[in-house]
Chains A and B, each alone.
Chain A
C-alpha cells in the first residue's frame, strides 16, 4: 500500500494506478477516476483556487454511470411546481459531502455560473442550498448534474411542515426576546435611577412621569413577550394540571396590575422592572429549551435521508432494472436484495426473509417475513432476496416514515423533561399555597406591605434556576460536542454515557477503516500469481463483503466470467469459471468445502483462500487499516478505568492481532450479530452499563440494545439511525473525549441543581419574613438563573477537555 494521499480526497492512492492531474505545474496523484474527473472539472472551470482555500479533504467521488440518469424524474416535479410559482423556480437541495467552507465557496461559484441559475446559496449551518433557476434555461437534472461535476451529491428536498413550523417558532422567540430586552432595558434604566436617588429626592410630578413611562414600556413586554406564558397557563388550568406557567402568569399579572393600580392612585410601590426582568429571563430559559428541541429534529431529519434513492423494478420484459424509488407505482414488482433498504411499502410475492424495522418502530428484534407479509418502506431487509409488489407509495408511505421518525425523536428525548414536569406540578401548588398563606397572614394581621411581601415570595420561589439546570447543561454540551464532530441524537445519552463502565467495539469498519488492501499472495500450487488474482477478482465481484474490494484490480474490466455463483454469507463463495469449480473464502470455509485441514495463516491479516474443488491454490493476506486515534482511545479508556472489549465476526487471527496490538484484554472473534447481541445482554445482566461502538448494518441490533450506542464516521445509515451519538470526524479519540465530557456535563448538572435548591430554599424564609423587596426577589431569581446558565456555558467554552 502506498501512502501518497489522493490530491482530491486525501485517501491513499492504491499502487499500480496512474490517475493524476496537473495543478500549478505539478502532477498531482489521484486515487480513482471519480476524483480525477471532478478535479479536472474544477480546474477547467477556473475554480482551482478551491484547493488552496480548503481546510479539509473532499469526500471520495464515485463515478455514476450516465446511463442511470437518476435525476431525470425530478424534472417532472418541476413542471408541476412551475404552475404554482411564477417565473423563477425555487428549490431546496440537500447537499452531501461538504467538509469545509471552501466546499461551499466552490459550489456557489460553480453553480452560479451555470446558465439559467439566477442564484445559488448554501446555508452554512444546515448545509442546505436554495437555488433559483429559470426552468426554460436549465432543468433540475442539469442542476444536480452540475453539483455532481464538482464532486458532491444533491437531493431535492421538500421543506417539511415541521421544519417550517420550528423556523417560525424560532423567529417568534427571537422577536419576543428582543422586545422584552429593549423595553426592559429602558424600565431598568429608570428604576436604577430611582434606586440610586431614592424616591423622596424626586419631585412627585417627575416620579409620576417616570412611572407612566415605565408602564408604557412594560405594556408590550406583558402583552406581546409574555403572551405565550398566559396561553400556556390558561391551557394548564383548563386541564387542571398546573405547570410552571401558572405561578409565572400569576406573578406577571399580579405585579403588573398592582403597579398600574398604584400608578393611577399615586400611592405605594411599582414593580414594572421586576415584571420585565422576570419575562426576559423566563423567555431566555424557554429559548434555550427550544433550541434543544431544534437539535433533535435536525438530527432526526438526517436519518430520514436514509431512504433509498433507487429500487430494482421489473420492466415489461421481466427484467429487474434500477429505477428511482419515488417513481414506483402501486402494483409494481420489485426485487429487494439482502442488505438493502426497502424502497416502498410492499407485500412479499416470493421469498422468505427477516427485516429490521427498528428505524420505524424502535423494535429491535429482526422480524421474520413470509409470502403475503407486508414490509415497510425505509426498513431494512436483512437476510435474503425477496420479490415483492408495491402497495403504498409516495407521499403516503414516505411521509408517514418521516413523521414516525420525528415523533420517535420527540418521544424519546425529553425523559428528564417529563420528570421535571411531574415534580413541577407539586412545586407549583406549593408555591401558590405558600404565597396565598403569606398574603392571607399579612393581610389579616394588618401588615402594610402584605402585597409586596407575597409578590416577593411568588417571584423568589419561582423554580427558574431549577428548570434551567438540566436543559442548559445539555444544550451547552450538545453544541460543544457538535463542534467537535460529535452529534448527540438522544438527550439523555450524555447522562448515561458518563455512567458507562464497559465499552465494546466492533472491529471491521469501527476500529479499522474497513477498506481492505491485499498484503501478500502465497501460492500453494503450481499456478502463476496473475491468474489466481484474476480468478479471485471475478469471484469477489459478486460479494458485497468489504474484503471483496481488496481484489479489485485497477487496470480495467474483470477478465473472467464466473457462473453459478453460490454465496455463503460472511464465509465465502463458490462459482464456476471455465467449467472449473472454485471456492474462495475463509480458511474454515475452504476446509469445510474441500474436507481438508490447512496450516494456520494470518498473523496480523485476514487470510482468504482460493481453491479448486480438489486443492488450495493460494492464500491472500488481506489487511485492514487501523483508524486514526484508536491506540490513544484505548489507552485513554483503560486509564479512565473502563472495561474495553472487542466483539468481531472476523477471523480469530486478525482479531487477536489487533486486540494485542491495541491492548484490548477481552476479545471474541467469529461472532454472528445474534451472538454479539447475546454477549451484550450477558454484560448488561451483570449490571454493567454498556456502550457499543459500531459502524455496520450487522451492528444495528446491538447498537440499539446497548445503553448508549455510538456510530463512527462513515457508518452505514442504519447503524447511524440506531445510535444515540454519531462521531462524524474521523478521529476515534473523540470517543474518549466525549465520555470525559459527559462526566463533566453530569457534574455541571449536579452543581446546577444543588445551587438552585439551595437558593430557592434559602430565599423563601427571608421573603416570607419580609426582608426581600420584589425587585430584589426578581434580581435574586435572575442572578440565580444566570449562575446556572453561566455554569452550563462553561461546558460550551471549555477547550481543555480535548486533552
Chain B
C-alpha cells in the first residue's frame, strides 16, 4: 500500500506529460487533416522530402 504514495504521484506526472503533449499536438495542427496522412504514406519519397523541408523551415521560424 505504501508504494501507492510513490506510484500515484508518478502517474500524475505521466498524465501531466500526456496532456501537455496532446495539447501541443492540437495546437500545432496535427489534427487538422485526419484523412491525408493515410494516403500520403503510399506516396513516393520526394513529397515526403518536401514535407520534411517545410517542417524544418517552420521550426526554424517558430
Residues of A within 8 A of B (CB): 88, 101, 104-105, 108-109, 112, 118-125, 132, 167, 171, 174-175, 178-179, 182-183, 185-186, 190, 203, 206, 209-210, 213, 216-217
Contacts and interface: CB of A to CB of B under 8 A. Distances in A.
Interface of B: 1, 4-5, 8-9, 11-12, 15, 18-19, 22-23, 26-27, 31-36, 39, 43, 46-47, 50-51, 53-54, 57
Contacts of B43: 105, 108-109
B47 A186 contact: no
Contact of A179 (B19, B27, B33, B57): B19
A302 B39 CA distance: 24
Contacts, number: 81
13 contacts: A88-B57, A104-B36, A118-B54, A125-B33, A132-B57, A171-B26, A171-B27, A174-B31, A175-B23, A178-B22, A178-B23, A178-B26, A206-B4
Nearest to B4: A206
A124 B15 contact: no
B22 A182 contact: yes
Contacts of A190: 8
A121 B22 contact: no
B8 to A, nearest CB: 6
Contacts of A203: 1
A122 B37 CA distance: 11
A469 to B, nearest CB: 26
B8 A213 contact: yes
A105 B39 contact: yes
Contact of A124 (B12, B36, B46, B47): B36
Nearest to A101: B39
B50 A125 contact: no
Contacts of A132: 54, 57
A174 B29 CA distance: 12
A119 B26 contact: no
A141 to B, nearest CB: 22
A179 B35 CA distance: 24
Nearest to A53: B42
A206 B1 contact: yes
Given A108-B47, A122-B36, A132-B54, 18 more contacts: A101-B39, A108-B43, A112-B47, A119-B57, A120-B50, A121-B54, A123-B33, A124-B39, A125-B35, A171-B26, A174-B31, A175-B27, A179-B23, A182-B22, A183-B15, A206-B1, A209-B4, A210-B8
Contacts of B54: 118-119, 121, 132
Contacts of A210: 8
B27 to A, nearest CB: 7
B1 to A, nearest CB: 6
A217 B12 contact: yes
